[in-house]
Amino acid sequence: MPAVHDPSRFAFVPALEAACSAVLAELQQLSSAEFVDSPDSLTTVADGYDETGWKWFGLYGGSAVDVEANNRVRCPATAAACAAVPGLVNAGFSWFRPGTHLYPHRGEMQGVLRCHLPLLVPEGDLGMSFGDEVCRWVAGRCLVFDDTVEHEAWNRAASDRVVLLVTFAAP
């Protein structure tokens, strides 16, 4: 199975991309204080990594069910776009501050794929790599990948990168 998948293979992608401006508008109404440190359960890595600049705003699939329900009320267009993804496992806003670097790691959840809908993509050196394959986020264009394949991600740009991260059951 490849690490990076063609987004056109997934029927939900056009609707998710079409919702991008509404999702971005809801993101822009949130304050940075509403984001929490990244969920520890998303990755496993042997040598540690700097995730101090990785923040999370959960909508589905976390342990803080009441908080997520409130977050969905505050972001109804985003919640609806995520709920329309078949086999939804979890979803939320993933925010990388400048200087964040997740060193090579593997996600822990088997049988799922990840979709990033990039919302804020600054100019500069930021991306994600799977071995020699480097992927760059493009605002409004989904990136679908297998999180269990070793990869790393970084933001060496001067401003924040935010994606809507959606985990779903692999077809």
pLDDT higher for 101 or 158?
A: 158
Is-contact 56 96, C-beta < 8 A?
A: no
Model pLDDT, residue 50:
56
Is-contact 130 162, C-beta < 8 A?
A: no
Average pLDDT over residues 142-169: 95
Is residue 47 scored above 60 in pLDDT?
no
User: 100-120, pLDDT tens digit by residue?
Assistant: 888 888 888 999 999 999 999
- Where residue 21 sits, what CATH number does that domain have? 2.60.120.330
Q: Residue 136 contacts by C-beta under 8 Å, 6 or more apart in sequence?
A: 126, 127
Model pLDDT, residue 46:
47
Give the SS3 label for residue 160.
coil
The mean predicted confidence, pLDDT, of the chain is 90
Count other Cβ atoms within 10 Å, centred on residue 139: 15
Model pLDDT, residue 44:
43
How does DSSP assign 13-63, residue by residue? HHHHHHTHHHHHHHHHTS-GGG-EEPPGGG-B-SS--B-TTEEEEEEESSS
User: 82-100, pLDDT tens digit by residue?
Assistant: 999 999 999 999 999 998 8
What's the structural domain count of the chain?
A: 1
Give the pLDDT band (50/70/90) at residue 29.
very high
Q: Which structural domain, as residue segments, surrounds residue 114?
A: 4-169
Model pLDDT, residue 21:
98
Is-contact 45 137, C-beta < 8 A?
A: no
**Is the full-model pTM beyond 0.75?**
yes
User: 127-137, pLDDT tens digit by residue?
Assistant: 999 999 999 99
Query: If you search the block for the tokens 């996600």, which residue do you land on?
Result: 107
Average pLDDT over residues 155-162: 95
Is-contact 32 55, C-beta < 8 A?
A: yes
The maximal CA–CA distance of the chain, rounded, in angstroms, is: 41
